[in-house]
């Protein structure tokens, strides 16, 4: 693919530095008056592993063709000191630049995800990353988009499934996303209309799961990898038009709630509307950062089969966190030893 024919594809990644005392004080101020006992505001959700620079190194090494990288932070003090803001591919985005004022301040990734399409200058085709997802092998543009459509893996399951360590909260969010899809789409009609997408040979043996659920009258769940997700900006606008009440409810929660919807509502919407190109399932791996997973993480990083890895924070004592942080950074440093142009 020649340089001139590369489509405009942007990356979006949000970041929070949980060690910032100003941010901590604001979080505690709002948490003190927060009435919900179901919100997910654990400190480890915001912990900084010091690996962000390897996200940027992975981007420069594996996808030098991207148009822009939109880096989202709540306020300017959250921008890492080592980040070179003069990089022409980097766009710093503050929450107030794109999230409606009525939802601010927010400490919920769900609210950030619901409003990505409002980012000024964002291309129609973009890829969303959490800051714990890292590219580790070269990826071409047509891995993410073909013929203007996101490349993704649509596999039905009897319940929503997310490839992370067991946690009921993301499962509940996925259930609410599935419910929204069933309010707006007829599963039998979707399966008939996009038969060759749902049953593409690239799915391999995983087609069996979808075949088994063909008789079900409604969507029951989808397989989701906690990795990078390609989206059309227009999908967000469409979902807001049809499910604005649902999305607004999630945005009004300052902290993550299990009854919220999250980014998966947009992915499911693309599946149900046929706005995707089938892609193989084996694109990366998710692992929680635990002592017993270190060797497996090293293996995944060395395996040329995988294009990405997600490293999920696990609740652990501070002394163990410090030791594991050093080990994880050592693994990344071996894979990406050189500074990127995003670093000063």
Where are the chain's structural domains?
7-137+147-335
DSSP E strand boundaries for 234-303: 277-278, 284-288
User: What pLDDT is recorded for position 44?
Assistant: 54
CATH number belonging to domain 7-137+147-335:
3.90.550
Give kind and range of the element (H or E) at residue 341: none
User: What pLDDT is recorded for position 40?
Assistant: 53
CA neighbours within 13 Å on the CB side: how many for 222? Answer: 28
Residue 60 structure tokens: 């420069």
Residue 30 structure tokens: 């709002």
The candidate with the shortest Cα–Cα distance to 63, out of 171, 156, 136, 146, is 136
State the Cα–Cα distance between residues 168 and 162, nearest whole angstrom.
10
User: What pLDDT is recorded for position 168?
Assistant: 46
User: What pLDDT is recorded for position 37?
Assistant: 53
Write out 39-54 in H/E/C secondary structure: CECCHHHHCCCCCHHH
Radius of gyration of the chain (CA): 20
User: What pLDDT is recorded for position 4?
Assistant: 53
CA 232 centroid distance within chain: 14
Contact (Cβ atoms closer than 8 angstroms) between residue 189 and residue 266: no
Provide the residue count of the chain.
344
State the Cα–Cα distance between residues 165 and 129, nearest whole angstrom.
18
- Counting as low any pLDDT under 50, the low residues of the chain are 1-2, 162-168
């Amino acid at each position: 693919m020649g340089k001139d024919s590369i489509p405009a594809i942007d990356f979006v990644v949000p970041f929070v530095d949980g060690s910032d005392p100003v941010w901590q004080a604001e979080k505690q101020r709002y948490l003190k008056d927060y009435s919900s006992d179901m919100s997910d505001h654990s400190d480890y959700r915001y912990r900084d592993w010091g690996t962000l620079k390897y996200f940027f190194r992975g981007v420069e090494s594996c996808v030098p063709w991207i148009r822009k990288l939109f880096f989202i932070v709540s306020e300017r003090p959250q921008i890492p000191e080592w980040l070179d803001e003069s990089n022409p591919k980097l766009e710093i985005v503050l929450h107030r630049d794109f999230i409606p004022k009525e939802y601010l301040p927010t400490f919920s990734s769900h609210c950030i995800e619901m409003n990505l399409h409002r980012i000024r200058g964002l291309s129609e085709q973009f890829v969303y990353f959490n800051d714990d997802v890292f590219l580790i092998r070269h990826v071409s543009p047509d891995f993410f988009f073909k013929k203007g459509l996101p490349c993704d893996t649509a596999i039905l399951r009897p319940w929503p499934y997310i490839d992370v360590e067991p946690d009921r909260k993301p499962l509940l969010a996925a259930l609410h996303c599935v419910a929204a899809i069933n309010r707006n789409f007829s599963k039998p009609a979707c399966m008939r209309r996009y038969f060759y997408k749902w049953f593409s040979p690239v799915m391999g043996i995983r087609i069996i799961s979808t075949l088994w659920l063909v008789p079900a009258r409604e969507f029951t769940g989808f397989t989701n990898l906690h990795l990078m997700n390609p989206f059309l900006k227009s999908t967000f606008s469409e979902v807001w038009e049809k499910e604005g009440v649902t999305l607004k409810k999630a945005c009004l929660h300052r902290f993550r709630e299990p009854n919220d919807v999250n980014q998966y509502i947009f992915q499911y919407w693309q599946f149900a509307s046929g706005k995707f190109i089938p892609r193989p399932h084996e694109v990366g791996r998710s692992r929680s950062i635990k002592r017993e997973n270190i060797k497996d993480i090293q293996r995944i990083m060395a395996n040329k089969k995988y294009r990405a890895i997600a490293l999920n924070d696990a609740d652990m004592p501070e002394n163990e966190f410090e030791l594991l942080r050093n080990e994880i950074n050592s693994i990344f440093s071996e894979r990406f030893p050189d500074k990127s142009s995003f670093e000063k």
